[in-house]
Amino acid sequence: MKRLAWLMVGMVLVLAACATGEADETGERFTYTSYELPLDEKVALGDGPHEIVFVFDYSCPWCKKWMESVLPEVESRFLETGEATFKGQPLVLLNEKSQLLATVDANAERLMPGRYYDVQRQIGLDAETVEDYGTEAYVRRLADLFEADAEALLAPQVDVGIQNARLYTRDLGVDYVPTVYVNGIKLLDAFSVDEMERVMNGDIKAGDVVDVPAE
């Protein structure tokens, strides 16, 4: 538990937003901000000129909803048409299950890059539907499903998910999950595919300021 104790400081907004699906800066105005994301070496899905980045926690129910409802539309509108690439970056914000699954995610990317996003999607969609989700037993069944080495998937990392969580919440504008960036610009509404398209088209630029819709 000591590893996750730091989450109690400075993470209240992240946890609340995941639980309720609220947008950040809910009071009044939102400024579109561009960030230099450290993802040049990350495996990508698709091969287009624009980049969509989905930042999430495997234990966040709203992140699962994003994978269920938004990712298929992203694939059909932007990836299959060659307009964009997609990268999914898990953080560790919520619990020890998140920590284990972020480790499995990092190992899957390294060991089986060609099937990495199949693994990521499988884990994300299994949330809340599998009784032993986020346990070693779950990972071993996942390894069998993908014909992978379970010990390699479970191999310890240097708290990669926690390190990423610190970086993204401290320096890269993550106040809640899911957070989505398009070409480095953080979106107001992570669930809006139209907003993604407006960034790609140049209708939304870094520095633009908009009113935040009332909940």
Q: What DSSP assignment string belongs to 172-215?
A: S--SSSSEEEETTEEPS-TT-HHHHHHHHTTSS-TT-EEEPPP-
**Tokens read off for 55:** 């930042």
Rounded Cα gap, residues 124 and 65, in angstroms: 9
- The predicted structure's pLDDT at residue 18: 61
SS3 168: helix
The beta-strand segments (E) located in the chain are 29-31, 45-46, 50-56, 84-90, 179-182, 185-186, 209-211
Q: Domains in the chain, please, with CATH?
A: 31-204 (3.40.30.10)
CA atoms within 13 A on the CB side of 111: 18
Beta sheet of 50-56, edge-to-edge order: 45-46, 84-90, 50-56, 179-182, 185-186
- The predicted structure's pLDDT at residue 5: 36
- The predicted structure's pLDDT at residue 6: 35
- The predicted structure's pLDDT at residue 100: 94
Rounded Cα gap, residues 122 and 214, in angstroms: 34
118 sits in which H/E element? helix 116-126
Rounded Cα gap, residues 52 and 182, in angstroms: 5
Class of residue 53 by CB neighbours under 10 A (exposed 0-12, middle 13-18, buried 19+): buried
pLDDT along the chain (215 residues), means of 10: 36 45 59 96 96 97 97 97 97 90 95 97 95 96 97 85 85 94 98 98 96 80
Name the DSSP class of 131.
T
Rounded Cα gap, residues 149 and 140, in angstroms: 9
Q: Do residues 84 and 116 make contact, with C-beta atoms less than 8 angstroms apart? A: no
- The predicted structure's pLDDT at residue 27: 57
- The predicted structure's pLDDT at residue 125: 96
66 sits in which H/E element? helix 61-69
Q: Do residues 138 and 130 make contact, with C-beta atoms less than 8 angstroms apart? A: yes
- The predicted structure's pLDDT at residue 215: 64
- The predicted structure's pLDDT at residue 158: 65
- The predicted structure's pLDDT at residue 7: 42
